[in-house]
Amino acid sequence: MGSLNFRLDGKIALVTGASRGIGRGLAQHLAAAGATVIAAGRDASALESLAREGGDGTGVIEPLLLDVKSVANIRRAFSVIDGKYGRLDVLVNNAGLGYNHDALDVTEEDWDEMMSVNLKGVFFCSQEAAKLMMRQGKGRIIQMSSQAGIVGIERHAAYSASKGGVNMLTKVLALEWAPYGITVNAIAPTFIYTPGTAERLDQPEFRESVVSRIPVARVGTIEDVAAAVLYLASDAAGLVNGTVLVVDGGWTAR
């Protein structure tokens, strides 16, 4: 019987939206698993701080400025990665926007910004990553989706549309790129407690309304998401392709 390996020693991993929240935590956990992590985002100061903190493991964290709304910026960033490392083993498309609007209140600007980051950015980062991964004959692409891309949630029309798009994009890319040794999967979390979500989740009434819809009776943690990312990034997940791994405590099982 072969041994299962969840380590990422020697791997080069890129995490977008790594300045704060889930992305920051994912960068730290990937580094702790042994990867060299390129932490990408728009906040240079936050990325430098993250790089100094590292990941409490054998891996390291390197900062990289990246605005996923700009295809030109994406291509420049991947050119930097190619020039410095010559490869990319794992892409975690974590950068995303999440805010609530009644459907009647969504403006064209709201819609365009949401799609630009949550869907356009995911696609073009995946495209650039695939070019590097095809050259080396293998790679892992992991998209950050949401339970809101699977079931309807009130006041999330634009957000749900963007994440539903991510889910279908994941399936198509998985089919097209599997012959090149690349797997493409998505993770769909429930409400995750982060510094950014704390303001709402610390309100007892809101938290109770959320937890009441989660059968395991708690909101998620960054570690819950990181566990799924580490699995999909590892050699152990070689046969997992084109799936949306739901990390929601059973919300979408109802």
Q: Are 96 and 15 in contact (CB under 8 A)?
A: no
**β-bridge pairing 182-189 and 60-65:** unpaired
DSSP category for residue 117? I
Q: Which of 85, 99, 159, 193 is catalytic?
A: 159
DSSP category for residue 75? H
Residues 6+ apart with CB under 8 A from 72: none
- 3-state DSSP: the chain helix, strand, coil percent, rounded to 5? 50, 15, 35
Q: What is the enclosing helix (H) or strand (E) of 108?
A: helix 108-115
The verdict on whether 231 is a catalytic residue reads no
Task: List, as one string, the DSSP characters of 129-195.
Answer: HHHHHHHHT-EEEEEE--GGGTS--TTBHHHHHHHHHHHHHHHHHHHHHGGGTEEEEEEEE--B--T
Active site residues: 159
